[in-house]
């Protein structure tokens, strides 16, 4: 997972915000917290989306579906892109450096 530095968090949320608006999503809330910013939206067909920045610059995307019928979900056909310790109790912290998204002050 990529570490999004404090200096880049606003830019990251801005990119996603513009894409969601361009896609016709209604922005429902914005959290302008310096440490843990977030944006929330709703699609025309009732999906609710959120992008939250957590500890160490970890991005959390969440999608809540409108009412659906329970169905079977097939196992993933592709391997995970990051190692996840099967015995881990906590979500791992971001550990990938991006020259842009992880960049600290100039």
Task: Tell me how far apart the alpha carbons of residues 101 and 12 are, in angstroms, rounded to a whole number.
Answer: 8
pLDDT tens digits, residue range 29-51? 999 998 899 999 999 999 999 99
Please tell me whether residue 10 adopts helix, strand or coil conformation.
Answer: helix
Q: Is 54 exposed, middle or buried (0-12, 13-18, 19+ CB in 10 A)?
A: middle
Q: pTM for this structure?
A: 0.72
- Say yes or no to pLDDT of 106 above 50: no
């Amino acid at each position: 997972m990529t570490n999004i530095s404090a200096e880049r968090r606003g830019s990251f949320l801005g990119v996603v915000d513009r894409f969601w608006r361009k896609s016709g999503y209604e922005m429902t809330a914005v959290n302008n917290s310096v440490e843990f910013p977030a944006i929330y939206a709703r699609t025309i067909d009732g999906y609710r989306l959120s992008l939250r920045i957590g500890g160490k610059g970890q991005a959390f995307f969440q999608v809540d579906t409108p009412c659906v019928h329970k169905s079977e979900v097939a196992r993933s056909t592709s391997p995970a892109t990051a190692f996840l310790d099967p015995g881990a109790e906590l979500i791992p912290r971001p550990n990938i450096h991006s020259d842009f998204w992880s960049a600290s002050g100039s």
